[in-house]
């Protein structure tokens, strides 16, 4: 069934395979009147582009986006925005070997079982290149949110055993690992070089902060803001855990240590003395920073020898060749940020009909 | 907007507040011809019923389910199944005090901001009683899955600092904490008694295993099986983290340690030498056990003194009175199991159109 | 699959069979702060209640609605509103005979094929009583729309060969056929008496007008306002045709006769010199009256002799006994009105995110 | 909000404007293993291509489709199929004049009100070229249905006052009006030539027949097969009425004349002695031919003088220049057929979970 469409009011439909003609996304539900040009989207795509550092595949892809519809005279028209990014290196020859065996940690086997066969070139639809459409859509969602004063940013929290100790937002874009702590970035770099030397790979954590989101966004029961964020983030290929606020730490906390006390400050504004909940209660934003975290598994494609099977019924050993990232985390930072932006925007829109007063005001003001 | 409806082919719509007339769910999309009676559903509800042990609120609720539609001559008819559970103790007097202040860790404030006012009696819709509808629907989903040979069960993995060391499935139903390890259950009990004495509360972890699910269930991109499980599980009130397979541990693993090697066994069946992935690759089930985990925060309602604010603009101290569980985890076990069952069934149905061969076989066989 | 749920932001989930315990609906997505009591809903239900005239079944049903959730202190809370109407006359004995044969014009055969068996008592889910849930939800949608100044009303346009010549809105509620033309109502009454005498039944047309809907409601391509109205109205059991504006007459019109010319009036307001389009262009409301029409088939249950088959493999003749309306149209008027109200409200909500300017204004005003 | 996405299991997302870079569609949910090439789709597109006869605009567009994803080694992979048709004649200069006024019968005004501005070139998204994406998707849906033995075809039933008297399926593709009656096609041609001479345009009716669809497709209540067909067909730009079976004629029929009697034939197969219902009862297919009809309004773009307004506040007279069809009907035949195919396929898929027996058989057979 349909699995590549996400959202209710702001909807994205992604398509494309690693070694097909291109990758793309249709963004449907973007409001009219937003200034939008290809450069807005390209800036996001550049953050996940390969070949940016020694820790990403040297495969050269420009990943240049083209706007095909939905924009007129530099502004969105309210109709579907179709974006295309043509694939440039389609060296299918590289992949003839893997057509016949199943790579551990990849979706080769499950695709074969589900569909009866698969596009084996570079992982086909299950390739990391599938996220290009997500990021292109995320750039648009982010621009709308920024226009409304809402800020979303993500960064690498840890790589292998190395987790950040300090936080400097300006540092994030300064190092190729997108870490807000320059020293930890250095340690992580050394660790990754060791991984490469060992024909191995590493995992890590990505954190994302949503600031200035109005209170009241998110719906009770199933459409909780955190639940939709969980779905959006865990739908990214390598994510194996999702945490909101204190995350798994709550399991060993107590009510006294975990509850966030409210107080009025001197100006009668409501403040919280802590933020263990990560800015969401009952599935609804409370107006403070929302903090979430994703744990990313190590790149499954490694050069070291691995046991597996082939389609001829044999147990074999393989060494995966080719151009593979020793770590996915840095390039996935903007993917997480994009999925969060798309979800927050959709739920912001959905929360506009929460109460009669604001609906009445909306229609009177028009 | 609508937030209490979940699912595509097998859909549940829950309703009801803690101190309203009742709680219920409409299950739409249940296939015809399933033997179903109230006892099937009651067995699930009894597992989350209050008053079962000293660690759950002594509030007495029978939580008896009544089937209002969709069943005829003991079998489902294929049309919506409406289930109602009347509330019995609606002592609204208990709650007059909390109408005026915001309990830390609860959704009181966010509901007020979103909706302009709230049903403050027992938390209204944000009460744990909201999960009754989920469990009633989960009982039906589980029965269908069992009929197809698929088995889902959940249990308490940890309470506060105490995590299970051994695993005995038969033990799960033997202790009131639903732990598969009798010794850890004893330690956890002592810990909870300490919590009660300190007017405090505890959190913990719930684990769930899905066995015998066919390979091929789950859709690429956004409708991954793990993504929908993440949404369903984190939509449960107190869940702050969701993990699949090795979960957050993957962040410190390497490709070599995390990849699951395939091998043919002596009968030419495909086996995996490990299951770090938790039975899902590329968002699609691989036929092995699926393992997931939820971290549950401590009960926010505690008798110890807490700082908060009231609606008159004052900073105050409160001690929450009344009948509250010192821990949510044991009663939430069946809630997790239910949300997993509902999601797995919906995705199993959706995966029936994955390839032309099986569609053709289906329509030829009719 | 799920078929009894409709809507995106304002969603209704109906349930219940003719001779089950009751009929109901869960309305999810109703904004908080609407004054709502059972009387608001009862007024709508009374318009479709049986036994109101000699042209509706004498079967006595009070059809009293009870609000089970979602309302607190007389106002909606923003959470699901569950409504129940208990069935009172469940004389299942009446229906033992029809269990074994298939009534022409009814869904008996298609239900049996689809589901393997059916609740044959009074048509089960395919009974006209299924519309009770629709009307209860429609009462709420109408009340919200009225609060926003939007007016929706339906009436009988024709019965058999008798179509209205004049239009007096006040007359609609004055005759039991809900016709805005007293003279035609008299003619139609005589015609229906003839039908009853002949053990036969009649069909007719219902028209519905939506006034004061803001321009700009409805989405291009598939979610056109007219397309969703078409779905909602044709989902009512006996509707076999849906028309908007001039409807089927456009097939013989010309561009010159069918186009509605725009002009500025003396106050520089835009007016149209005609309304052949029925108030919608490109799927979007233009601010003028929206006019739609449904053609309703004659009641299939007739006392006259009909050929059919039984489940024992025999060709038989039947005379359907019992209490049946000689015409469905008058009681279906409020059903059409309800489906239109539910759809218009949902699309009104969805159109709130059409352009950046109004979104910005919304969030600034909060 | 999102309006260009349709379907649940088989989903289509269309995009593109008349004078943008191109038109396209993403088809998500197409099963794997279908043989598919561009020629399959091109054959459908050619049926709606302009310049095929004197009754369609001489505007030259090749409308060549390119498959961008979802097909590998000549077979669908189960992942999204992205199709693009580049626009070739983007002579935007033609349209500078209409930027400033509102054409009667077009969506110019409603787009301006809804979105604040519009892409005025050739109607932008509201152009008839929007249907190209629908037809491309319809070609795929039709091919799947054909593989399952289901046949769908549409034709012109009437043009202006000329309606077919005879029916010869082979004749449909023989005349440029797609009429199954050669004589009526001649009459209609003369009528259209008269329209052109008078700078006027004509409307007509399209009929569509679905054969060999299994009984049991369609869901009770809102997701009736006829209701989803009504939505899909009336979402086509110029459709103002939708009929199923006898359509509006039922309003003057009686129960006796309108009911379809069942009989067993000599081989104990169930037959119906008539088909007034058009093959659907209770929203569910009964296995006989499904017959539906759409009424299409006359082309609103006419060369004759019309009153309208401009954006400078003036009442003006216009004569619309350029290349316009005097009738939309013949080119819309394949659009209706496509929307029907997409809808029938989606509902066929959805009906695969109607009863436990067939679900069990499906999973056992795998």
**DSSP secondary structure, C224-272, as one string:** -HHHHHHHHHHTSTTEEEEEETTGGGGGG-BHHHHS--EEE-TTS-EEE
Average pLDDT value for chain C: 94
Instruction: Please tell me the distance from the alpha carbon of residue C49 to that of residue C60, in angstroms, as a whole number.
Output: 9
Looking at residue B55, its pLDDT comes to 78
Residue D123 pLDDT > 90, yes or no? no
pLDDT in tens, C39-56: 999 999 999 987 777 777
Looking at residue B316, its pLDDT comes to 96
Tokens standing for residue C73? 């202190």
Looking at residue B24, its pLDDT comes to 98
Q: Around Cβ B315, how many Cβ atoms within 10 Å?
A: 13
Distance from CA of D39 to the nearest CA of C (A): 26
| % of chain B with per-residue pLDDT over 90 | 89
Please write down the HEC assignment for all residues of B131-153.
Answer: HHHHHHHHHHHHHHHHHCCCEEE
pLDDT in tens, D262-278: 999 999 999 999 999 99
Residue D366 pLDDT > 60, yes or no? no
Interchain contact, A221 vs B228, CB within 8 Å: no
Window 260-289 of A: residues touching D by CB (8 A cutoff) are none
Instruction: Please tell me the distance from the alpha carbon of residue A37 to that of residue A213, in angstroms, as a whole number.
Output: 25
Residue C89 pLDDT > 80, yes or no? no
pLDDT in tens, C338-353: 999 999 999 999 999 9
Residue B356 pLDDT > 90, yes or no? yes
Residue A50 pLDDT > 60, yes or no? yes
Residues of C in contact with D234 (CB under 8 A): 224, 226-227, 230, 242, 244
Instruction: Indicate the angle between helix axes C329-350 and C38-48, nearest 10 degrees.
Output: 140
Distance from CA of B342 to the nearest CA of D (A): 15
Interchain contact, B77 vs C24, CB within 8 Å: no
Residue B61 pLDDT > 60, yes or no? yes
Looking at residue B88, its pLDDT comes to 87
**Residue in D with minimal Cα distance to C293:** D241
Residue B19 pLDDT > 80, yes or no? yes
Q: Is A158 left (phi over 0), alpha (psi -120 to 50) or beta?
A: beta
Interchain contact, A352 vs C362, CB within 8 Å: yes
Residue C94 pLDDT > 80, yes or no? no
Tokens standing for residue C327? 């015409």
Q: Around Cβ A148, how many Cβ atoms within 10 Å?
A: 17
Instruction: Please tell me the distance from the alpha carbon of residue D67 to that of residue D81, in angstroms, as a whole number.
Output: 7
Cβ contacts of D277 within 8 Å, gap of 6 or more: C105, C240, D244, D245, D246, D260, D286
Taking one residue from B and the other from C, the number of pairs with CB-CB distance under 8 angstroms is 172
Give the pLDDT band of residue C18 (cuts 50, 70, 90): very high
Q: φ and ψ at C41, to 5 degrees?
A: -80, -40
pLDDT in tens, C278-335: 999 999 999 999 999 999 999 999 999 999 999 999 999 999 887 688 999 999 999 9
Tokens standing for residue D186? 């001649």
Looking at residue B324, its pLDDT comes to 80
pLDDT in tens, D227-236: 999 999 999 9
DSSP-assigned letter for residue B310: B
D60 is in an annotated binding site: no
User: What average pLDDT score do residues B182-191 get?
Assistant: 98
A125 is in an annotated binding site: yes
| % of chain C with per-residue pLDDT over 90 | 89
Residue C93 pLDDT > 70, yes or no? no
Residue A96 pLDDT > 90, yes or no? no
- Chains in contact with chain B (at least 3 beta-carbon pairs closer than 8 A): A, C, D
DSSP B7-56: -SSSEEEEEE-TTSSEEEEEEE-PPBT-B--HHHHHHHHHHH-TTSSTTS
Interchain contact, C366 vs A31, CB within 8 Å: no
User: What average pLDDT score do residues C178-203 get?
Assistant: 97
Residue B323 pLDDT > 80, yes or no? no
B129 is in an annotated binding site: no
Tokens standing for residue A70? 């939905």
Instruction: Please tell me the distance from the alpha carbon of residue B324 to that of residue B346, in angstroms, as a whole number.
Output: 34
Interchain contact, C356 vs A144, CB within 8 Å: yes
- The enclosing H or E element of B332 equals helix B329-350
Interchain contact, B33 vs D8, CB within 8 Å: no
Q: Which of B63, B84, B81, B109 lies closest to B15 in space, CA to CA?
A: B84
Looking at residue B16, its pLDDT comes to 97
pLDDT in tens, A151-187: 999 999 999 999 999 999 999 999 999 999 999 999 9
Looking at residue D227, its pLDDT comes to 98
Looking at residue D358, its pLDDT comes to 94
Instruction: Please tell me the distance from the alpha carbon of residue C82 to that of residue C66, in angstroms, as a whole number.
Output: 8
User: What average pLDDT score do residues C96-115 get?
Assistant: 92
A77 Cβ under 8 Å from any chain C Cβ: no
D8 Cβ under 8 Å from any chain B Cβ: yes
DSSP D305-355: EEEEEBTTS-EEEEE--S---SBSHHHHHHHHHHHHHHHHHHHHHHGGGSB
Instruction: Please tell me the distance from the alpha carbon of residue B354 to that of residue A230, in angstroms, as a whole number.
Output: 25
Q: Which ranges in chain C belong to alpha helices (H)?
A: 38-48, 108-115, 131-147, 182-197, 225-234, 255-258, 329-350, 356-365
Residue A54 pLDDT > 90, yes or no? no
Give the pLDDT band of residue B365 (cuts 50, 70, 90): low
Looking at residue D172, its pLDDT comes to 97
Residue C249 pLDDT > 90, yes or no? yes
Distance from CA of D131 to the nearest CA of B (A): 26
Q: Is D63 left (phi over 0), alpha (psi -120 to 50) or beta?
A: left
Interchain contact, D252 vs C226, CB within 8 Å: no
Q: Around Cβ C323, how many Cβ atoms within 10 Å?
A: 14
Of the listed ranges A121-125, D25-29, D112-116, the one predicted with least confidence: A121-125
Give the pLDDT band of residue A366 (cuts 50, 70, 90): low
Of the listed ranges B170-184, C86-100, C197-211, D64-78, the one predicted with least confidence: C86-100
Residue A343 pLDDT > 90, yes or no? yes
Looking at residue B93, its pLDDT comes to 62
Looking at residue A91, its pLDDT comes to 58
Tokens standing for residue A242? 């999702």
Residue C92 pLDDT > 60, yes or no? no
Interchain contact, D79 vs A4, CB within 8 Å: yes
B361 is in an annotated binding site: no
Residue D136 pLDDT > 90, yes or no? yes
Average pLDDT value for chain B: 94
Q: Is A215 left (phi over 0), alpha (psi -120 to 50) or beta?
A: beta
Residues of C in contact with B4 (CB under 8 A): 26, 28, 79-80
User: What average pLDDT score do residues B122-144 get?
Assistant: 95
Interchain contact, B147 vs D360, CB within 8 Å: yes
Residue B21 pLDDT > 70, yes or no? yes
- Cα distances (Å, whole numbers) of residue A88 to A139, A257, B268, D63: 22, 53, 40, 25
3-state DSSP assignment of residue A184: helix
Each residue of C147-182: b (16+ CB within 10 Å) or e? Answer: ebebebbbbbbbbbebbbeeeeeebbeebebbbbbe
Looking at residue D47, its pLDDT comes to 95
Q: Around Cβ C57, how many Cβ atoms within 10 Å?
A: 18
Looking at residue A334, its pLDDT comes to 98
Question: Which one of D77, D352, D354, D365 would you mutate to disrupt binding with B, by most B Cβ within 10 Å of its Cβ?
Answer: D352
Looking at residue D94, its pLDDT comes to 60
Looking at residue D53, its pLDDT comes to 76
CA dihedral A354, A358, A362, A364 (to 10 degrees): 140
Instruction: Please tell me the distance from the alpha carbon of residue A220 to that of residue D12, in angstroms, as a whole number.
Output: 30
| % of chain C with per-residue pLDDT over 70 | 96
Domains present along chain B, CATH in parentheses: 5-365 (3.60.150.10)
pLDDT in tens, D18-56: 999 999 999 999 999 999 999 999 999 999 987 777 777
D15 Cβ under 8 Å from any chain B Cβ: no
Looking at residue D92, its pLDDT comes to 56
C300 is in an annotated binding site: yes
Give the pLDDT band of residue B98 (cuts 50, 70, 90): confident
- Facing residue for D264 by CB, picked from C14, C220, C313: C313
∠ CA D120-D126-D132, rounded to 5°: 120
C114 Cβ under 8 Å from any chain D Cβ: yes
Looking at residue D214, its pLDDT comes to 97
Distance from CA of C310 to the nearest CA of A (A): 39
């Amino acid at each position: 069934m349909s699995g590549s469409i996400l959202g209710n009011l702001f909807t994205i439909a992604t398509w494309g395979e690693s070694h097909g003609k291109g990758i793309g996304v249709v963004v449907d539900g973007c409001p009219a009147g937003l200034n939008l040009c290809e450069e807005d989207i390209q800036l996001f795509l550049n953050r996940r582009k390969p070949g940016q550092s020694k820790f990403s595949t040297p495969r050269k892809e420009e990943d240049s986006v083209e706007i095909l519809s939905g924009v007129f005279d530099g502004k969105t028209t309210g109709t579907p925005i179709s974006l295309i990014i043509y694939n440039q290196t389609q060296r299918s020859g590289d992949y003839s070997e893997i057509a016949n065996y199943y790579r551990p940690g990849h979706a080769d086997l499950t695709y074969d079982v589900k569909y009866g066969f698969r596009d084996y070139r570079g992982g086909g639809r299950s390739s990391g290149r599938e996220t290009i459409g997500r990021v292109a859509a995320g750039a648009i969602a982010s621009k709308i949110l920024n226009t409304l004063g809402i800020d979303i940013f993500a960064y690498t929290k840890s790589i292998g055993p190395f987790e950040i100790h300090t936080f400097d937002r300006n540092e994030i874009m300064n190092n190729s690992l997108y870490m807000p702590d320059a020293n930890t970035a250095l340690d992580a770099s050394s660790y990754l070089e060791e991984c490469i030397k060992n024909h191995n790979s590493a995992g890590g954590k990505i954190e994302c902060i949503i600031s200035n989101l109005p209170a009241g966004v998110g719906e009770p029961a199933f459409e909780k803001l955190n639940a939709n964020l969980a779905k959006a983030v865990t739908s990214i290929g390598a994510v194996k855990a999702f945490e909101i606020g204190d995350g798994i730490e709550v399991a060993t906390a107590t009510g006294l240590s975990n509850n966030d006390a409210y107080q009025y400050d001197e100006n009668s504004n409501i403040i919280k003395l802590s933020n263990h909940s990560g800015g969401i209660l009952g599935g609804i934003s409370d107006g403070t920073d929302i903090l979430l975290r994703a744990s990313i598994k190590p790149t499954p494609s490694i050069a070291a020898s691995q046991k597996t099977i082939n389609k001829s019924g044999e147990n074999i050993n393989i060494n995966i060749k080719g151009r593979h990232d020793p770590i996915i985390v840095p390039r996935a930072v903007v993917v997480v940020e994009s999925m969060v932006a798309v979800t927050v925007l959709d739920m912001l829109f959905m929360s506009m009909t929460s109460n009669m007063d604001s609906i009445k005001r909306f229609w009177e003001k028009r």
